[in-house]
Structures are given as structure tokens and as C-alpha cells.
Structure 1
Amino acid sequence: MLNYILKRLLGLLPTLLIVAALVFLFVHLLPGDPARLAAGPEADAETVRIIREDLGLDLPLHQQFWRFISNAGQGDFGTSLRSKRPVSTEIAERFMPTLWLTVAAMGWSVLLGLVIGTVSAVWRNRWPDRLGMTLAITGISFPSFALGMLLMQMFSVHLGWLPTVGADTWKHYILPSLTLGAGVAAVMARFTRSSFIDILKEDYVRTARAKGLNEFVVVTKHSLRNALIPVVTMMGLQFGFLLGGSIVVEKVFNWPGMGRLLVDSVEMRDFPVIQAEVLLFSLEFILINLVVDVLYAVINPTIRYK
């Protein structure tokens, strides 16, 4: 297991290098001149030229890429063109609000999805199953931005119970986490149901029932652990998606997180911030997949990596 983890960690380097190259080329294909945006609309051509040289944008692309990789390897992602602050500082301030929002959304959505999926599988083709899958399809089909606006209209505008913007108190997390986690809960419910149905057909489950064991014991002790193996994969992917893909929700709720920072950076052609954020999102997905693979062995000790 240790050798497997070390090999996966070593595999980070070429993957991140490829991602860095693709992101670097992508941001340089965006329309607009970052030097002009940094100088301001009133700056003359000479000022723009000086800023372009200062940012290194006058160099050939391969030299710009090499400088970016060299500095990134030392933890230096440059300075934001928009705020004139270090990129690492910009991301550090936005990371925790996004992380806590993701944890809050993931917590309730996974719990609810597991419950709905398990109940739907145990009472397959009966009214609990139909009700649970109807809720799941609704959660998948309803756009997150529309759900966020609907929740704000109901609980903030009409009822006045919850705030709409900011991340100061626990109340600020309720509406964004509900909006962000609705789709995840729906996916988890459907995936858990499918996994449980396959497990409930296994011989050892029929044997446990033939021994006269309580149905609750059969489901929780003999079925749940094996059914969780594919579900854990989906949990990891969904967590990575929430952590790196909460852009729409953060924009709707004006959330001070990395998603909104990325949108603002794209609008302002803030190359250093865009490159650093995408690299961070890629690293998060790789590490989450590694954690999921390790959890396989924890859930099912019969699994071994060679």
C-alpha cells in the first residue's frame, strides 16, 4: 500500500505539468491585453509597454512558460494583475470559505443520499422507492442557479429568515450549501440505490436472511459495507466537483470563495490567478482520487494493490 501511494504521488508531477501547459496556452488564447487592463484605460502606449515588459509578456511563449513553471515549483505564482497582491495570498483568503461550504454541502447531501438510496433499494418498486427517485430526478434536473434564486426568494426576501450574501455566520452557509448539495444528494441517492440492489442479490445476503437475521442487520452489517465501495468513488468525485466547481453558486450568493475569484480573474484576464487556481483544482482532484483508492482497502480489506 505504501509503495502504491508513493507511485501515485510521483505521478502527480507529469500530470500537473501537462495541466500547467494546457492552462498556460488556454489563458494566452483569451481575448484582451492583460497589460492594457493592468495599466488602465487612460494609460498611453509607453506605459502599457513598460507594464508588459515588467510582467514578462513581451517574452516568447516558451520562455514565459518556463518562468511560470520555475516560479511555481518554488511556490511563487506571481502577483495578481487585478489586486497587485501575491496570488498565493489571494487564493489563501478564498480557500477556506469554499472548503467549509463544500464540507457543509457534502455532509448533508451524502447522508441524505445514502438514506434515500438505501430505502429505495430495500423497498424497491414500492412507494418509498418511487418517492425517493422522484426527489432524486428533481434534484438532478433543477439548475443550481435557479434553485439558489428560488431559495433566496423564499427564505430571505419573503420570510426574512436567512441572509443572502456573505460568509460571516453559520446562517450564511445554509442556502448556498442547500443549493450546492442538491444535485450531489440526487446523484448519491441514485448511485446508492443501484449499488444496493446489486448487493442484495448476492448469495451471502440470501444466506443471512435464510438464517433468520433481522432485515436491519442484513442491510447495515452484511450489505452496507460492500455497497459503499462504488459509492465512495462517487463521493470522492462529487467532493472534487464541489470544491472546484462551485462557481455558479458562489456567483449567485456573492460568496467570497475561489469560484467567484476565478470568474473575476477570467473577466479581468488575470493570468497568474487563473493558472494557479486551475492547477490547484487539478491537484485537489488527483489527491481526492488517491484518498478514495486508499479508502477501498479500509472498507474492504480483501482489496490489495500491487
Structure 2
Amino acid sequence: MTRVARAVLHRLGGAVLVLWGAATLGFLALHLVPGDPVSTLLGGSVTTGSAAVRAEITREFGLDRPLFAQYLTYLGRLLGGDLGRSYQQQQPVSRIIGEQLGPTAALALTAFGLILLFALVSAVTTAGRRRAVRGAASGAELLAISTPPFWLGVLLLTLFSFHLRLFPVAGAQGWESLVLPAVTLAVPFGSLLSQVLREGLESALHEPFALTARSRGIGPLALRGRHALRHALVPAVTLGGWL
């Protein structure tokens, strides 16, 4: 077996163990919370004290079986792709998740595109500039990183939806509905990525290759975009994958 194959199998084995551990903790959490699973499912329902309802739920979810048997059934269903049925919405969990995959992917991709655009423009245009310019950009980014996204979202809704009426408040009404949620996600994460990218650019601009490029008459913006950016992208790509 080659070294690469062993490394891939090692990573896959680790992933399987993580998924098994997460599934096991999820199963145990329902049984370790105060009270019993039936009371947890019923919540504050007025029928909580009904013996008939409690017996029906116990039978439906197999809670009258031994705990280990419940655990094996739970793992078997997960391996078969059965995520169970939502007690509140009375639908299969896989269907509920599937209905949200498209909008979630659209929002995530749009936000990530804005993150990359913001980080590249901010870092490339401010790296290597005067201290006042870099300080102002870093201060604004630090403020954006420190701003809670839910609060930023409320501010954007108040200004652009309620007052200016440029974007819808809620719903899925085309690309207009994506703008405010995507910007809300992109501002703090884009600021974080911009700081990492600017630091990499600052270091790259002091490397010998930068001096050689300057001696050949390359302008500051071309030096950053065509040469220094390649060296600065390594930590930014790592952070971008996490984002």
C-alpha cells in the first residue's frame, strides 16, 4: 500500500470515527437530559399528562425497548440514510433538509463570492500603503469582525428594506432576496480574510523578488496583483476553506 493510500485511509477512518462519535453523542443527549424523551418531545403541550398519548409516543419511537436495542436501530437507520421523522413538523427529516439545500447553497455561495471580492479589493489596495491608510482599513475591519451578524442584519433590514424599500424583508423573490443576507455574512468574514491576506501581502512585498520586480519598472498595483498575491494566498486559501 502506498503512502498516499495509507494517508487517505487514515483520514477516512478518522472521519468515520468522528461521525460515529457525533451520532452517539446525539443519541445519548436525548436520554441524558432531565426528564424523559417523551416529555422532551411533548414540550409544553397540554397533553403532556395524558397516559394514552405518552404510551402512543413511546410505542411509535420504540422507547419501550432496551436502550442498547434502540441504539443499534438508530445507527442502522442512519447507515441507511433514514434520519427519522420530525415530531413537530410531521415530515421526514431528510425531506426537510432537502427542501432547504438549494436556498442554503445559494446563500453560502453568494456570501463566499462577496467575501473573496471584498478581501481581495481591500487587501490589494491597502497593502504597502501609508500607515494611516492601513490603520484605517484595519480599524474598519476590526469593527466589522466585532459586530454581531444578527445586529448587522437588523441594521441592513431597517435601512434598505423598511426605509429605502430596495430589498424584500423576507421570502425568496429572486436575487434581491439574497443581497442583504449575503452581505450580512460577507462583511465580518470578508474583513477577517482581508486582514490575513493583507498581512501576507505585506510580508511578500519585502521579499527579494518584489525588489527585482520594482527594478524592472512594474507598478505598485501590478506588483501586488501579479506577484505578491501569489505568495500571500497560502494562508488566505487555508482560512477560506474553513470559512
What TM-score comes out, normalization by structure 2 length? Answer: 0.86
Where do 1:206-245 residues align within 5 Å? 206-238=211-243
Superposition pairs of residues 224-303 of structure 1, within 5 angstroms:
224-238=229-243
CA RMSD of aligned residues (A): 2.4
Q: CA, structure 1 residues 31+105, in 2 after alignment: closer, same or farther (shift >3 Å)?
A: farther
Q: Does 1:86 align with 2:89?
A: no
Partner of 2:80: 74
> Post-superposition shift, 1:27?
3.9
Equivalence for 2:128: 122
For residue 117 of structure 1, report the CA deviation from its aligned partner: 1.8
Report matched runs for 1:174-185 at 5 Å: 174-185=179-190
Counterpart check, 1:159 vs 2:164: yes
Change (3 A) 1:34 1:22: closer
User: Larger relative contact order (C-alpha < 8 A, sep ≥ 6)?
Assistant: 1
| CA spacing shift, 1:72–1:188, aligned 2, 3 Å | same
2:203 paired residue among 198, 213, 216: 198
1:15 to 13, 18, 32: 18
Deviation at 1:92, TM superposition (A): 0.3
**Amino acid of the residue matched to residue 180 of structure 1?**
L
Give a deviation string over 1:184-206, Cα, whole Å, max 9, x none.
Answer: 11101111111212222222222
**How far does residue 131 in structure 1 lie from its aligned partner after superposition?**
2.8
* 1:113, distance to aligned residue in structure 2 (A): 1.4
Give 1:49's aligned residue. Answer: 55
Unaligned runs of 5+ in 2: none
Unaligned runs of 5+ in 1: 239-306
One-letter amino acid matched to 1:26? A
* Cα separation, 2, equivalents of 1:28 and 1:101: 35
Distance 1:116 1:169 in 2: 28
- How far apart are 1:84 and its partner, in Å? 1.9
Partner Cα distance (1:31, 1:94) in 2: 31
Pair 194,26 (structure 1): closer, same or farther in 2 beyond 3 Å: farther
Residues 210-258 of structure 1 deviation map (CA, whole Å, 9 limit, x = unaligned): 34333333222221112111101111111xxxxxxxxxxxxxxxxxxxx
By how many angstroms is 1:82 displaced?
A: 1.2
Say how many residue pairs are matched.
Answer: 237
Q: Which residue of the partner structure matches residue 115 of structure 2? A: 109
Q: What is the aligned-residue identity percentage? A: 33
Paired with 1:159 and 1:214, the residues of 2 have a C-alpha distance of 41
* Deviation of 1:172 (Å): 1.0
Q: Provide, for residues 152-177 of structure 1, a one-character-per-residue CA deviation record: whole Å limited to 9, x for no partner.
A: 11111111221111123211111111
Distance 1:34 1:195, change over 3 A: same
CA contact (8 A) 2:201 2:229 kept: yes
Give the number of the structure whose alpha-carbon radius of gyration is greater. 2
Whether the 8 Å contact between 1:120 and 1:130 is mirrored in structure 2 is no
Q: Which deviates further from its counterpart, 49-58 or 34-43?
A: 34-43
